[in-house]
Amino acid sequence: MAQQVTPTQELLDYIRGTSLRDDELLAGLRAETAALPAGEAMQVMAEEGQLLALLVALTGSRSILEIGTFTGYSTLCMARALPPGGELVTCDLTERWPAIGAGYWEQAGVADRIELRIGDAVETLAKLTAERGPESFDLVFIDADKANYPRYYEGSFALLRPGGLLVVDNTLFFGRVADPAAQDPDTAGVRELNAALYADERVDISLLTVADGITLVRKRP
């Protein structure tokens, strides 16, 4: 059985040279984010941002919910892929980091598609359910604090329409999920969600072994 290729720097450079369609705006936001403490580790890879944009287009999504904005790189990637009239609601605990991305959203001409919600994400999900009703989003992207992943999944699942796509980042969490000695809250949260997804008969799933693990979750009609 063929095994996954280990992405050496040379292979990664080749992949980016033959697949990554980058531009100055995206590269600028990545560079500004990478200069922050732990910024490079926290932001999604350029390839993942491109994948998210492709998934928005493939699913024909018009309404997106993002849990975890940080500096808004994934927000930018997905918002640019929305059709005219599309919307993206992105949630973060503080305005500090999303403020960095806001200027890039403006430059890209998509700021009017983005609504930033500040506060505890579990509370925000409850408010969105009360305001919009269930099944009001086409696509959900979860990339926030890992200890609360199970709560974010259940809260956002109710907001996802049947047939909609939910994307979860960091589901391999630096490989720690496979280490029995790793029992910190973040690793435990990711591990708990992975097990719950595997057992959840409401969805179809695929855990992709790219970046830090990306799980695609389709809500069955």
Task: State pLDDT tens for residues 169-179.
Answer: 999 999 999 99
Split at pLDDT 50, 70, 90, the class of 38 is confident
Question: Whole-model pTM?
Answer: 0.95
- Which strand ranges, in their side-by-side order, compose the sheet holding 203-208? 114-118, 87-92, 63-67, 137-142, 160-169, 214-219, 203-208
Rounded-to-integer distance, Cα 67 and Cα 49, Å: 15
Pick the CATH number of 9-219 from 3.30.450.40, 3.40.50.720, 3.40.50.2000, 3.40.50.150: 3.40.50.150
DSSP state letter for 48: H
- Joined together, the tokens standing for residue 120 give 């505890």
What is the structure's pLDDT at 6?
75
The answer to whether residue 1 scores a pLDDT higher than 90 is no
The answer to whether residue 191 scores a pLDDT higher than 70 is yes
Average pLDDT for 26-43: 91
Average pLDDT for 55-60: 98
C-beta atoms surrounding 86 within 10 Å: 18
Average pLDDT for 203-221: 96
- Strands annotated E in the chain: 63-67, 87-92, 114-118, 137-142, 160-169, 203-208, 214-219
Q: Dump pLDDT digits (tens) for 93-146.
A: 999 999 999 999 999 999 999 999 999 999 999 999 999 999 999 999 999 999
Average pLDDT for 187-212: 97
Domain-wise residue ranges, the chain: 9-219
What is the structure's pLDDT at 39?
84
What is the structure's pLDDT at 2?
59
The answer to whether residue 3 scores a pLDDT higher than 70 is no
67 closest CA partner among 145, 161, 134, 129: 145
Dihedral over alpha carbons 173, 177, 179, 181 (to 10 degrees):
100
